[in-house]
Amino acid sequence: MKIAIVVPYIPKIEGNRMAFNIARGLSAGNDVTVISHTVTSKAVNEVKELCNPAKLKYFRQTESGGFGSKFALKYQFLRGKSRELANFILKSDKFDAIIVIANEGHWLPSYIKRKSNAKVYLILMELHDRGIISLQNSNANNAIVKGIVLSPVYGFLKYFERMRFSSFDLLFANSIWTKIIFEYLYGLPVSDVIFAIDTEHFKPSSSRTFNDNFIVVPTASLKNNSTAMETLKRLSAEGIRLICYGSVIVPGVENLGYIDDDRMIQILSNASATLFLFGYEALGLIPLESLACGTPVITEKKQGPELQLAGNENVHFFNSYEELKELCMQLTRTEKTDAIKNSCRASIIEYDYRKVTEMLRSRLIQNLGVCEA
């Protein structure tokens, strides 16, 4: 099969890693091309490396880029970029299957199907509805006021979103949480859950980074989360050794800032546990990457992580600060044996991109009505 993996906008690797894993996995026995409208110069070479042997093609390259309201208008709501991208896809090759793995590009089927018999599929990565869902995080009065003000606009936009979603031949979701919420809100069936990591890349490292036991905390999900920040400062003040990494700096706690994959794998491997705090999360790569590195996870008992990882004995959930502190103390005092490391890895092997893309390949063959070689 000739397959296009479409990621409309690639300003950086973070947030798009699963798409590249899927492209690489589907390349076994298929001709796969990763196609984007715009890629930043700093990301091009790394994207090529991550999706190899799949090819990379893009409409244009830019020196810098990021997400924001301007990006949302151009790539998610207005049609201009989708029209350009659709024409670029059609000129690139005659594809059998086109898989959009992004929050953008929902207009693509309306243009592609006018000129091609290719089937177009979507892997839902995030719902724009999260803002409405997250009203629960506001106090009761604010939630009621926001709900009254936003509901008419939300209903109007959802009507058009449903039309766009229904134009895809099959829908997949990145988590059980996304699947359930989407099917409830839009009344459209989601075929399966697709979430892929590279368990050969993320695996236990023997390099020793720190002498003492510690809890590692990724901070990318902590932006504007003052409750989580206060929790971390309190844990540190009460004697729990925390080591944070990522774009958000936590005052009074040891921060490593941005680190590359190799360093991250070392930190995750050496930690007693990974503490994953979030405001809204469908699932998140961090818990799976931590488990792949042989390290248990502590996280909040809510949303996607609770729904998808509740049966995993290596994932510890908490409801209160006291429960969180007790878990941190318990895990930093417990020797992380080879048996624990092996159990962590075995618990998420189903998410390895090789297994996931074999299932996806079977779904595509079935939907396309082609015979396996």
Q: What are the pLDDT digits (tens) for 271-311?
A: 999 999 998 888 889 999 999 999 999 999 999 999 999 99
Rounded alpha-carbon distances, angstroms, from residue 371 to 26, 30, 306: 16, 13, 39
Contact 296, 314 (CB under 8 A): yes
Phi, psi of 191 (to 5 degrees): -65, -45
Q: What is the pLDDT of residue 129?
A: 52
Query: Could you give the 3-state DSSP secondary structure of residue 58?
Result: strand
Contact 57, 34 (CB under 8 A): yes
Residue 130 has pLDDT above 70, yes or no: no
Q: What is the pLDDT of residue 104?
A: 85
Q: What is the pLDDT of residue 206?
A: 86
Give the whole-number percent of the chain exceeding pLDDT 70. 89
The dihedral over CA atoms of 107, 17, 352, 263, expressed in degrees to the nearest 10, equals -170
Min mean pLDDT across 22-36, 88-102, 199-213, 345-359 is at 199-213
How far is Cα 110 from Cα 150, in angstroms, rounded to an integer?
Answer: 28
Contact 265, 205 (CB under 8 A): yes
Min mean pLDDT across 193-197, 199-203, 309-313, 367-371 is at 367-371
Rounded alpha-carbon distances, angstroms, from residue 243 to 201, 202, 251: 22, 19, 12
How far is Cα 352 from Cα 132, in angstroms, rounded to an integer?
Answer: 32
Question: Quick one: which H or E segment has residue 162?
Answer: helix 140-166
Structural domains in the chain, sorted by start: 2-196+352-368 (3.40.50.2000), 215-351 (3.40.50.2000)
Residue 148 has pLDDT above 90, yes or no: no
**Residue range 218-249, pLDDT digits in tens:** 998 898 899 999 999 999 999 999 999 998 99
